[in-house]
Structure 1
Amino acid sequence: MEKVAIYARISTDNLGQDVDRQLHEVREYCQRMGYEIVEEYVDEGFARTTRNRPALDKLIKDARQRKFHLVISDELSRFAGTPNLLLNLLEELKLWNVHLVSVKEGISTNNAMGELVATMLSAISKMELFNLSHRVKSGISNSRRKNGGAWGRRTNLTDDVAAQILERRKEGWGIKKLAKEFSVSHQTVRKVLPEFPDAASSSPQVI
């Protein structure tokens, strides 16, 4: 019976993220495949772009000891959120003949094609975030031009802060936490986020 490890991760408990759901789906997958689950590694409160995570570090350590042959996550972004980070982790695991399986994408990195597809998907995810950030910055700049340099009420919001809000939202931060972290109003956060088009299109009030 193939020995496997499960890896799960969430950034926060917002946006309906639930580590138990991830674990349940992967456990069911392992049962269907007839895999033996050696251990479950869970990181809570860590961004996908962060390399230093306690559970991930322990997983790598156990991989060196060849405790399992596969690492299974419900999707690639749980494991790594950038192509470079993903490639580095895959290369590290390959040293001990350990491979990554993503249930959602149906990908296994035990061959060159699987590694290529995984890296491409990671790059696409990063590009989507970049494009969102670019569109928001462009919209803010356009609003400022139309309103004599101001964008909405006097606020701490800058192009850089808007980009950071998008990044944190992608990681699962909620509206309340974003507003508190960047010292802006809830409405300002909603104007930045593409999922609230009504807020973004409302007329800014300049003071």
Structure 2
Amino acid sequence: MTGLPRFALGTVVLTAERLAGRTSASSPVAIAVGLADQGRKSARSAAKKLTAMRIKAPAIDLRQLLHDAGARGAIAMSRSRRDAEATLRSVMDDSFDWAEQKVVPKVVEEMMPQIVNNIVPRILDGVMPQIRSKVLPVIIDDLAHDPNVRTMITEQSQSAMADATLELRETSAEADDRLEIAFRRLFRSK
């Protein structure tokens, strides 16, 4: 069995397995499919032999015939199911690839302004109280107890104090110079 009939049988087998579970070689469905497949092959073989020469039909063991048909049916159903799975998976993968390449970018492009302008602000408004009450205190506490941050603050404080001291010295020296100049003018003129 090949082509569309095999695909159709595989799809039916997949559906049946979803509903009732796997089909065994002793099931009536497997036997029926096997008999059909075996009958097709036997008829073709018999037609070839009969055209070549006349042969007397051999005696048939019904149990063996049913067992062989069931085994053939199970194999045919398994192959059909496997082919149908591969075909359906390929169709599904191709559909997803097409959607990812054609549909998703277009939807994202059309929806992005609405998402950015409407949805994101709502999410942030909903999350900000939690961030303020739970996240920020933890971050501040971590920063306050971090030795690197303390060292950096100490260095910046010392630098600021050194800058302020230098400026105070320059200002006081400048004021001292002005006082001295004013004092000299005051006493020189007398």
Q: TM-score, normalised by structure 1?
A: 0.26
Structure that is richer in helix per residue:
2
Higher relative contact order (CA 8 A, sep 6+): 2
Structure that is richer in strand per residue:
1
Q: TM-score, normalised by structure 2?
A: 0.28
